[in-house]
Amino acid sequence: MTSPAKKLFKTALSALMAVSIASASMVGPAAAAGSFSLTILPAAGEDADALRAGMQIFNLINSLEQSGGVISQNGTGNGAMMGQNGSNNFGTIWQEGKGHSGNLQQSGNGNAYGIYQFGENTNVNVNQFGNGQTGATFVFGF
């Protein structure tokens, strides 16, 4: 991808995330034990669709799968587990740094969730039960 295309993508993704954060039901931010986290849980509809699209674009740019489940780890001492039961579920666990633990369990149909961990020593466990749920958690450990 060319540099102008990357800049355009980053600008569009930033705008998409800002709109999602501003309009979505949100839990966070919370700071505890050397970390900062933000969880986005949009209601169904356009907000959920925008978040799903943003996660799929992120995966596309990073040469990851755009459907099903994907785990990407860059660092040391990271652990991740994903379980999906149902159809058309989408999950991403992205870990950058060291000592992260991520767990995503999806049961039902048409669910989407992204766990994005940066820095060190963060722990995220998410369970989605039901149909059509969407969310994302961003954690920065220090």
pLDDT tens-digit readout, 30-47:
545 599 999 999 988 999
Tens digit of each residue's pLDDT (9 = 90 or more) over 72-125: 999 999 999 999 999 999 999 999 999 999 999 999 999 999 999 999 999 999
Tens digit of each residue's pLDDT (9 = 90 or more) over 47-78: 999 999 999 899 888 888 767 899 999 999 99
Are 59 and 70 contacting, i.e. CB atoms less than 8 angstroms apart?
Answer: yes
pLDDT for 25 equals 42
Between 57 and 29, name the one with better pLDDT. Answer: 57
* Number of Cβ atoms within 10 Å of the Cβ of 129: 12
What is the value of pTM for the model shown? 0.75
Q: Where are the domains of the chain?
A: 3-141
**Side-chain-facing half-sphere of 117: CA atoms under 13 Å:** 32
